Amino acid sequence: MAKGKLYLLPVPLGEDTWHTVPEYVVALIHELDAFVVERAKTARHFLKAIAFPKAFDDCLFFELNKRTTPEEIPTFLAPALQGRSVGLLSEAGVPAVADPGSRLVLAAHQQGIEVVPLVGPSSILLAVMGGGMNGQSFAFKGYLSAKRPQLAKDLKLLEKQVQRRGETQIFIETPYRNDAVFETALQVLEPQTLFSIAVDLTLPTQLIKTHTIQQWQKEEKPELHKRLAVFVVGKALR
C-alpha cells in the first residue's frame, strides 16, 4: 500500500485574514480528514472559516503541543502509513517554524513518509522582508529571557552577531512583554544599530517600522502591548 503524505499547512496570522492562505492550499485541506494540531478547538475554527466540507466527527485530530511525549508523536502518522494523507496545522502561520510541529516532520522522515511544505504567511519571513536589513544572512532566536538583566545581555549578544558577521537577528516575545523588550533595546543597544518592529502582520492594523536606536529614542513609542510582534536587530547593507 502506498503511504500518504504529510502536508505542512499554513494558516492565517490573525482573524479576518483568511485570504492570505492560497486557494490551492484551501482546496487541498478540503480533501484531508486527518490533522495534527496544537489545539483542536483552534483548528476547527480555522477549518470552519474556510468552509471545510466534512463533518469533524468523521475526521481525526491529534494534538501536538508541549505536553506531548516523544513516544506519542510517531503514532500521529498512523493514517499516513495506512495510505491517508495527514495535515499539520500551526496555531498561526506556517507549521514547524518556531512551532512544535517540527518533531512530527522529523518523525515523518524517519518513517519514510513524504513531507510537503506549502506556501503561506510566515511572520518571521515577512518581518525580514519588511525590515530592510540583510536578507541573505539571518538567524531566528525565538524568545529571549523574560528577566530584564538577562534580556539586556541577550540583546547585546544579538548586536554582537550583527556587528561581527552582518547577520540579521530575529526574535519574538509574549505580547504582554513587548514594551519591556522595546524599552530595554533602546537602553542597551548602540545608537546606530537598526531595530525593526513588525506588528500585526497581514492584519489591517499592521505596523512595520525600522529605525536606528538613536532615531527610536526621539520618536513616540509605538503601541505594542498585547499585539503580536516580531523584532529584528541588524545593520544597513553596504
Domain boundaries of the chain, sorted by first residue: 6-117, 123-234
Question: Which residues lie below 8 Å from residue 83, measured CB to CB, with a gap of 6+?
Answer: 1, 2, 3, 4
Average pLDDT for runs of 10 along the chain of length 238:
95 92 97 97 96 97 95 97 97 92 97 97 97 96 94 98 96 95 98 98 97 97 94 93
Per-residue pLDDT, 172: 96
C-alpha cell at 116: 510537503
What's the topology of domain 123-234? 3.30.950
Per-residue pLDDT, 1: 78
Per-residue pLDDT, 237: 86
Per-residue pLDDT, 77: 98
Element holding 49 (H helix, E strand): helix 40-49
Per-residue pLDDT, 5: 98
Per-residue pLDDT, 47: 97
**What is 6-117's CATH number?**
3.40.1010.10
Question: Which residues lie below 8 Å from residue 134, measured CB to CB, with a gap of 6+?
Answer: 166, 167, 168, 234, 235, 237
pTM of the model: 0.92
Question: Which residues lie below 8 Å from residue 170, measured CB to CB, with a gap of 6+?
Answer: 124, 127, 128, 138, 139, 140, 141, 230, 231, 232
**Is-same-fold flag (6-117; 123-234)?**
no
Per-residue pLDDT, 238: 79
Per-residue pLDDT, 98: 87
Cα 58 to Cα 62: distance, rounded to the nearest angstrom: 13
- Distance between terminal CA atoms of the chain? 55
